[in-house]
Structure 1
Amino acid sequence: MKLKKFLADKIVNRTMEVIQLNVNVMDKEGIIISSSDANRINTFHEAARQVIASGEEIVLSAQESKKWTGTKPGINMPIFFEKEIVGVIGISGSPREVIPFGKAVRMMTELMLQQAYLTEQMVMEERSLSFLVQDIISGTLDPSPDVVQSRGELLGLDLSGPRSIVIVQLPQSGEWMENPYRRQWQSKMAACFHNPKQVCLSAVSHNRWIIVTDLRHCRNSHQATQYLTESALKLKNLLVPAFCDNLFITMGNHYVHIRELEYSFKEAQQTLRVLERFPDKGPICHFNDATLELMLIETPARSRQRAIQQILGNVVHHPELMDTLYALFASDLNLTIASQRLNIHRNTLLYRLERIESIIGKNPRCFADAFRIQLALEMHRLQSIGYFSQK
């Protein structure tokens, strides 16, 4: 590990806070790279060079310091990292004054080095994981399965077996993404899944996470979908107290091969579009539960208009009848619940449904007709809120 200047500055500042004495940090060449005395920075410290060579500390009196170039009275100690000397820390002052602080200062310095190294390793691992996730969702993984598997093993991941993509989109907020908040949230989010250590999380923007799940414990697609939904609910319960209800969690289908996960990502993306345009679906949705809405928003304009006209006809000009249809489908065709939603008598609801049938020639209570009516109704709703004009 190379002792860099920014870290040396941190060591000097922290040491001075504790002992309030002059401190120098020298690199392996004996050059002072940080000092409480700015005039000494970038000068040669001969005693430090000797410490590097011998691995032993040197204590200099006022008389002895005159024999060494660029030195002052005090103590100069080697800084070890992983049993290797990476630099020297010196405390200036009379030996009687500085020696009592020597062991503590050296220990504190080496602890700071260890912490800096671990932080750097975490950043590198996080960056490598982000690159891996990006390659997975973009379909740019290496064509060799062995290379992909080895890449995962370096990060402690077994990339064999079924996985899927989950997208978590939070409100526009920046603080949670800043260190150390990001890592804290990453750990908490991973814990919502069966095997957290095999879950890949990557922040792709300031408010969106991509999660590559591990589904090897699921026996079939039905169990996988159920598990993903349960995990999404855990994520929601974790995140809602911090970010309110304005969040979305979408899930793509599971795929056996890691190279196929780009399809799962596209499915989760498409499902996110659905939740943004269909708030009644709630904050959580699997791709398989968004098929109808996707069909609605991807139907060509001319086909949409023709379907609305042929299926709904003049009913679109009667707000009361349109509200009746919305209430009926929101109540899953349950007349009692629909009448309560509309705050009308059940007989009044039946009369309205008969009137609708007389206008369009289709019975809203018949499954086949209800399917067509609901499809046209949703097309009309999207059109009325200007969704299609935004495309």
Structure 2
Amino acid sequence: MIARTDLRGRPLDAASLRQVLPRAEFDVEAALDAVRPICAQVQHGGAGALRDLGERFDGVRPTDLRVPAAALHDALAQLDDGVRAALEESIRRTRLVHRDQRRHDVTTQVAEGGTVTERWIPVGRVGLYAPGGLAVLASSVVMNAVPAQEAGVPSIALASPPQRDNPPRFAGLPHPTVLAACALLGIDEVYAVGGAQAIAMFAYGAREDDGTVVCAPVNLVTGPGNIYVVAAKRLLKGVIGIDSEAGPTEIAVLADDTADPHLVAADLVSQAEHDPLAAAVLVTDDEDLADAVEAALAEQVAATKHTERVRAALGGRQSGIVLVDDLEAGLAVCDAYAAEHLEIHTRDAAAVAARVRNAGAIFVGPYAPVSLGDYLAGSNHVLPTGGCACHSSGLSVQSFLRGVHVIEYDRAALEQVADHVVALAEAEDLPGHGDAVRARARGRG
């Protein structure tokens, strides 16, 4: 069901590891050819194009591209009490964590009479994307909206695909649970638009044929999606800012002989059920544990709801069990892999976790599964994939803020440094830079 890679006794330099570790195939460049005409159709066709594309890709032609306020109210009113309580607690915990990420302006006195202040200004308008394909991720509404709200973003819109198989009252709208999550969060600008066309709508805006604005353009788009959503983000980056090009979900588990094989197997299955391309990787120095996890997987995969999807993910080239000589080698492998989610099931798990350099999020010990982080840990589940955790971070309040330097110098402070500015300007053959300072030194400014 799941392949093995034996790295015992082999060199573990980063370049070599990148060649042999399991990794999903996620060819965004190939998808660009598919999304380019879709984005152009939205740019030039506006609301009519969005309806045509909804009918083509989602099997339903939305009557209302913008979800009516009554539908948001009804979705919340009809939400299961248990799901509502879970969403409310998820929002509360996520807000607690992200509120502590708020940035404060800092002023540094560089010289007498000369200061630089770093101001943190929220993005003016953002578009959030909530997937609605194999899994309808109401939790992604929480994970995107809360940091944007805590950053102080004044205008927030959200798009999610229209659902053909909704209850009749919600036909042609996003999934009712997504709508209910929006209502709980106070997001009232919601669009029944999915896929690459949603990203194009956020980038270009959309109007009806009579010129009525349906959706105004945004400055930044965040949120996970399939390869076509990712390709649209890449294509339109520059027209809009983006959070990341997130690929299929990943879990890596670093485990030694103290790990419970049934828990490890359950966590691998939990992420494999997202998508046939989801990656599930166990890194261990204990071959007996590897055998026990394989046996547990055979039992659990047969019993889970999405057996075919999980089996495809675990059997794909992106998943595997990696055998290493010892814990040091395991850490090297995990840092080279740079997983979106990394679980630590070892002795002194907290100490081992403190040594990890590359991971989107780290889950410490047997009682912190990735599923907790997906919903209720308080952390964010929009995280870097495909090895990008070695240079990128997950979604946070910082994602929705811009740092702006404000420079204030008086005449004396400028004169003190004028000769240095002129020297550097002349060294770079930019004499006008120096002249701008000399003009002020001569009292013309």
In which range does the TM-score fall when normalised by the shorter chain? under 0.3
Give the TM-score, by structure 2 length: 0.22
Name which structure has the greater RCO, CA cutoff 8 Å, separation 6+: 2
Give the TM-score, by structure 1 length: 0.25
State which structure, 1 or 2, has the greater radius of gyration over its C-alpha atoms. Answer: 1
Compare the two structures and name the one with the higher helix fraction.
1
